[in-house]
Amino acid sequence: MNRFLSALAAAIILAAQPAVAQSWDTSHWTASWGAAPAGPPPDASMHAFNNQTLRLIVQSSVGGNRVRIRLSNELGSTPLRIGAARIGLRSQGSDLAPGTDRALTFGGRTGVTIPAGAPALSDPAELNLPPLAQVAVSIYLPGAVQASSVHVQARQTGYVSLSGDHTASASLPVQRTIAAWPFLTALEVDGMQGAIVVLGDADRRWTDVLARLLQARRDAAARLAVIDRGVKGNRLLGDDPANPLAGRSALARFERDVLATSGVRQLVLMIGIEDIGHSSAANPLTPEELVAGYRQLIARARAARIAVTGGTLAPFEGAALYSIEKEALRQAVNAWIRSSGEFDAVFDADRVLRDPARPSRLLPAYDSGDHLHPNDRGYQALGEAMPLLNTR
């Protein structure tokens, strides 16, 4: 009897193998857009949905013939139920361009339940996606849901429907708009492109400038996607307990936001000014501590064959957290970034943004007004100055 059962089990396994092998997707995938989730938000600012459809707008950087999305419940404490999802090109507002709407499935099913702490990838869908396209991702949430995993600085209008599954509606019946990306963390395309991931403590999408410049080129750099994993207020070494929407520290989120990005070839580190700004006499920070953090990220990136560009820290004299002691710390860190030779390249954001007449402050023409974050002209200058590596 045991021999019979063993033979039967072997036959079942062998019979099942061809069907399983045919279902595997062995394509090369590259992220074309991405955002870093944070949270959970405080109750007062938590987005809540109940039997509603989200239509979230993102911009591709590189194109492809097949697409898939990544959804995140990584900061949730309960399972997240997705009833349906679709993708298409946007024409205007919440409207879809005719003929571009595609259904998304998850393991062949129209919906998926994502466990707390986990992400989910959709199956591929056939869609001719151009570079720099406006893409609409529609997600139906059949129950009462709180957006515990969210990127709040979308700087892009998203749409929330009236009750019901409206994922297939060419024009969404809009109840309200939001300026955040709940649950959606990546749009991926098929092909052999590569991705540049920018990991930092700012989120004003200067990376869009870089993506447009790359697409205007005629060399291999035009095949590089630009993925912004910046989070406003983010730190290199530790979390901000008073601001969960600033995200986990760069050291803590590195695997999720960098290594898990499909096709990543290059990493640009532009982080550390928030660590310096929150240094205090009671909790002082040293250059050695920041350098140790950078070295950890360099080592972890190199282990995955990812080239690393180090961005110097921009001036912040006049900002609320500025002091002469913190300025000395910034200068020491920048000197190490420039001269250590530990990065594959250096992006000297300090020199791009500083006022030549007073290098400890932003050039007034680039100052957003808080003396810490650049304005649109400043971010344009950053995008134009970004050095590139490994463009083949």
Whether residue 112 has pLDDT greater than 90: yes
Residues contacting 47, CB < 8 A, separation 6+: 41, 146, 147, 150, 178, 180, 182
Residue 71 has what pLDDT?
98
Number of domains in the chain: 2
Apex 53 CA angle, 52 and 59, nearest 5: 150
> What is the chain's mean pLDDT, rounded?
91
pLDDT tens digits, 164-175: 999 999 999 999
**Contact call for residues 226 and 196 (beta carbons, < 8 A):** yes
Q: Percent of the chain at pLDDT above 90?
A: 84
Whether residue 203 has pLDDT greater than 90: no
Q: 67: pLDDT confidence band, cut at 50, 70 and 90?
A: very high
**CATH code assigned at 289:** 3.40.50.1110
Judge if 90 and 203 occupy the same domain: no
Q: The tokens 């950078």 sit on which residue?
A: 294
Among 200, 343, 182, 186, smallest CA distance to 260 is for 186
Whether residue 128 has pLDDT greater than 60: yes
91/392 Cα distance (integer angstroms): 33
* Average confidence (pLDDT) over 321-345: 97
pLDDT tens digits, 206-264: 899 999 999 998 888 889 999 999 999 999 999 998 999 999 999 999 999 999 999 99
Quick check: is 2 in a domain? no
Judge if 133 and 201 occupy the same domain: no
56/181 Cα distance (integer angstroms): 7
> What is the extent of the structural domain holding 381?
194-385
Quick check: is 20 in a domain? no
Judge if 180 and 224 occupy the same domain: no
Residue 53 has what pLDDT?
98
pTM assigned to the model: 0.91
Among 228, 94, 120, 245, smallest CA distance to 183 is for 120
Residue 388 has what pLDDT?
75
204/228 Cα distance (integer angstroms): 9
Whether residue 5 has pLDDT greater than 60: no
Judge if 182 and 227 occupy the same domain: no
Whether residue 42 has pLDDT greater than 70: yes
138/141 Cα distance (integer angstroms): 10
Judge if 215 and 363 occupy the same domain: yes
Judge if 154 and 287 occupy the same domain: no
Judge if 283 and 143 occupy the same domain: no
* Average confidence (pLDDT) over 100-122: 98
291/311 Cα distance (integer angstroms): 13
184/70 Cα distance (integer angstroms): 6
Quick check: is 274 in a domain? yes
Q: CA-CA distances (angstroms) from residue 253 to 27, 42, 210?
A: 26, 20, 23
Whether residue 122 has pLDDT greater than 50: yes
Residue 44 has what pLDDT?
86
Q: How many CB atoms lie within 10 A of CB 260?
A: 16
Tell me which of 57-71, 175-189, 198-212, 235-249 is least confident.
198-212
Q: End of a domain among 186, 218, 241?
A: 186
20/12 Cα distance (integer angstroms): 12
Q: The tokens 């919906």 sit on which residue?
A: 111
Q: End of a domain among 159, 186, 213?
A: 186
Q: CA-CA distances (angstroms) from residue 362 to 263, 300, 357?
A: 34, 32, 10
Reading the block at residue 30, the tokens are: 């590259």
* Average confidence (pLDDT) over 282-286: 93
Judge if 213 and 357 occupy the same domain: yes
Residue 150 has what pLDDT?
97
